[in-house]
């Protein structure tokens, strides 16, 4: 016989299926816009958060990471992997799930899938940075790497920045074909390109989102003209970068959390004194974002725990009054808190 409901502490669980229902019910562009505001609001509270580089377990094939943070009231962590060779086996490069909890009792508040949510929050974070770093009136975006994240990135830039054209390139033409098809009715002008040089033509924003466990050179220095914003999100692990280091020498580089990005970002190629600006300082007014039309700005993004915290809290708030979740009894919570064994015994009776 199952234990009486009073002996269980139910919490909402957002499955992949329910996350998809939630996204469709709100509309993906509206959700990306709201999520961008939610991430930005938390970046403006930067000092309140506990911050640590993520805990990474590396293997030859990839990495498994835990990403925790807390603002003193709520705590969250995400489990996420990054395995570039996975797609060849029919698995995804990145999958994730995460938990939001109360700090005062330590009790969990929500468990959620985060593979879709990571794609959404990464698009929202890219758009947040572009708001302050991209050229004014950016209309054209190059999207290099047309895998799982690509369409989310394009739609985030459309919803938040007002991008009208996306120029797609991937070493695998099938990936470009897939992204072009998925974005067909998005309202974006979609141009499938056969080289990265072609993709960046006329682009105000260049997003690199490729997956290869290597010091890759997706962009060389001569490809990057003055005035562009580079949103480099694919290089996010030691030994995994996308840009030639000469680009970094010419760019003003913005990062999420410097101690983590020094290990994982494009700047792992540079000396330890290479200057970077943590992005929150632009929001607080301590540092300038784009200050010149000819400036090359680089958002060297690796993904930071606060973005997952914002995304989990945003989804948690959205659940109220909906059925986009199941209740799960993940926590044993006996009526007499010290009688855990008694609860087990009564369940056998
Ligand atoms: P994915 O495997 O689905 O797609 C990657 C694509 O890159 C593939 O289509 C592949 O063909 C293409 N590619 C590989 N080498 C290329 C090259 N030299 N030129 C052009 N295209 C190339 O992976 P995904 O889920 O889209 O993630 C992409 C990368 O972004 C991963 O490295 C992942 O770790 C990273 N990522 C970062 C963040 C962040 O917050 N910064 C968040 C999510 C994912």
**Would the pLDDT of 223 be above 70?**
yes
According to the model, what pLDDT value does residue 9 have? 73
Pocket test for ligand 1, best of 210, 238, 255 (most atoms within 8 A of CB): 210
Question: Averaged over 21-25, what is the pLDDT?
Answer: 98
SS3 call for 38: helix
**Would the pLDDT of 214 be above 90?**
no
CATH class of the domain whose range is 132-303: alpha beta
Structure tokens at 174: 């099938």
**Would the pLDDT of 2 be above 60?**
no
- Catalytic-labelled residue, pool 42, 71, 170, 236: 236
Return mean pLDDT, the chain: 95
Question: Averaged over 252-271, what is the pLDDT?
Answer: 97
Per-residue pLDDT tens for 116-161? 999 999 999 999 999 999 999 999 999 999 999 999 999 999 999 9
Nearest-angstrom CA–CA distance, 349 and 344: 9
236 is catalytic: yes
Torsion of CA 306, 310, 312, 315, to 10 degrees: -170
Cβ distance 96 to 117 under 8 Å? yes
Ligand 1 mean position to 291 CA, how many Å? Answer: 30
Nearest-angstrom CA–CA distance, 141 and 207: 7
Confidence of residue 212 (pLDDT cuts 50, 70, 90): confident
Number of CB atoms found within 10 A of residue 178's CB: 18
Ligand 1 mean position to 145 CA, how many Å? Answer: 6
Which residue did the predictor score with more confidence, 156 or 9? 156
Per-residue pLDDT tens for 306-345? 999 999 999 999 999 999 999 999 999 898 999 999 999 9
Closest by CA position to 78, among listed 302, 261, 305: 305
Contacts with 76 (C-beta within 8 Å, 6 or more apart), sequence order: 68, 69, 70, 98, 99, 100, 101, 305, 308, 309, 312, 313
Number of CB atoms found within 10 A of residue 301's CB: 27
According to the model, what pLDDT value does residue 5 have? 41
SS3 call for 28: helix
Question: Averaged over 259-272, what is the pLDDT?
Answer: 96
**Which residue has the CA at smallest separation from atom 33 of ligand 1?**
234
In the 3-class helix/strand/coil scheme, how is 270-312 assigned residue by residue? Answer: CCCCCCCEECHHHHHCCCCCCCCCCCCEEEECCCCHHHHHHHH
Q: Beta-strand (E) ranges in 15-73?
A: 55-58, 63-70
- Give the helix/strand (H/E) hosting 167: strand 165-169
Sheet holding 8-14, edge to edge: 55-58, 63-70, 74-82, 96-102, 108-113, 8-14, 326-332
216 class by beta-carbon count within 10 Å (0-12 exposed, 13-18 middle, 19+ buried): middle
**Would the pLDDT of 6 be above 80?**
no
Structure tokens at 295: 């400036």
Nearest-angstrom CA–CA distance, 110 and 187: 34
**Which residue has the CA at smallest separation from atom 13 of ligand 1?**
210
Helices H, strands E: what count in the chain?
A: 11, 17
Residue spans of the domains in the chain: they are 8-116+306-348, 132-303
Nearest-angstrom CA–CA distance, 279 and 334: 45
Which atom of ligand 1 is the closest one to the Cα of 147? 4
Pocket test for ligand 1, best of 56, 80, 93, 96 (most atoms within 8 A of CB): 93
Which atom of ligand 1 is the closest one to the Cα of 210? 7
- Chosen CATH of 8-116+306-348 out of 3.30.1780.10, 1.10.620.20, 3.40.50.920, 2.40.110.10: 3.30.1780.10
Structure tokens at 338: 């010290």
Around ligand 1, the residues with Cβ closer than 6 Å are: 82, 87, 93-94, 118, 122, 144-149, 170-172, 175, 209-212, 216, 218, 233-234, 236, 301-303
Which atom of ligand 1 is the closest one to the Cα of 303? 40
According to the model, what pLDDT value does residue 349 have? 84
Integer CA distances (angstroms), 146 to 19, 93, 112, 183, 327, in order:
22, 13, 26, 11, 36
Residue with tokens 């994240």: 149
Confidence of residue 213 (pLDDT cuts 50, 70, 90): confident
Per-residue pLDDT tens for 289-306? 999 999 999 999 999 999
Nearest-angstrom CA–CA distance, 16 and 33: 21
According to the model, what pLDDT value does residue 156 have? 98
According to the model, what pLDDT value does residue 42 have? 98
According to the model, what pLDDT value does residue 24 have? 98
Which atom of ligand 1 is the closest one to the Cα of 122? 40
Ligand 1 mean position to 147 CA, how many Å? Answer: 6
């Amino acid at each position: 016989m199952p234990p009486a409901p009073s002996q269980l502490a139910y919490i909402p669980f957002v499955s992949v299926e329910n996350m998809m229902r939630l996204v469709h019910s709100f509309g993906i562009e509206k959700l990306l816009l709201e999520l961008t505001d939610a991430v930005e609001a938390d970046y403006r509270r930067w000092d309140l958060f506990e911050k640590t580089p993520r805990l990474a377990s590396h293997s030859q094939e990839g990495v498994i990471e835990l990403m925790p943070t807390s603002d003193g009231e709520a705590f969250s962590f995400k489990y996420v992997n990054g395995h570039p060779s996975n797609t060849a086996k029919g698995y995804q490069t990145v999958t994730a799930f995460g938990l939001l909890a109360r700090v005062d009792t330590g009790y969990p508040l929500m468990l959620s899938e985060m593979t879709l949510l990571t794609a959404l929050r990464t698009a929202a974070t890219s758009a947040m940075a572009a708001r302050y770093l991209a050229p004014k009136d950016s209309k054209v975006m190059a999207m290099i790497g047309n895998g799982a994240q690509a369409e989310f990135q394009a739609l985030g830039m459309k919803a938040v920045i007002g991008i009208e054209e996306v120029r797609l390139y991937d070493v695998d033409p099938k990936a470009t074909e897939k992204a072009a098809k998925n974005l067909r009715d998005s309202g974006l002008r979609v141009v499938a390109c056969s080289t990265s040089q072609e993709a960046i033509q006329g682009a105000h924003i260049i997003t690199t989102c490729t997956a290869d466990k290597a010091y890759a050179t997706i962009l060389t220095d001569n490809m990057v003209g003055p005035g562009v914003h580079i949103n480099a999100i694919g290089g996010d692990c030691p030994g995994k970068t996308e840009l030639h280091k000469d680009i970094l020498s010419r760019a003003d580089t913005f990062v999420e959390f410097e101690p983590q990005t020094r290990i994982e970002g494009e700047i792992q190629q540079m000396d330890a004194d290479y200057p970077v600006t943590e992005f929150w300082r632009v929001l607080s007014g301590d540092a300038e974002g784009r200050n010149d039309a000819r400036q090359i700005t680089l958002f060297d993004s690796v993904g930071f725990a606060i973005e997952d915290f914002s995304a989990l809290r945003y989804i948690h708030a959205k659940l109220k009054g909906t059925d986009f979740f199941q209740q799960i009894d993940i926590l044993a919570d006996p009526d007499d808190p010290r009688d855990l064994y008694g609860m087990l015994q009564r369940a056998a009776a």
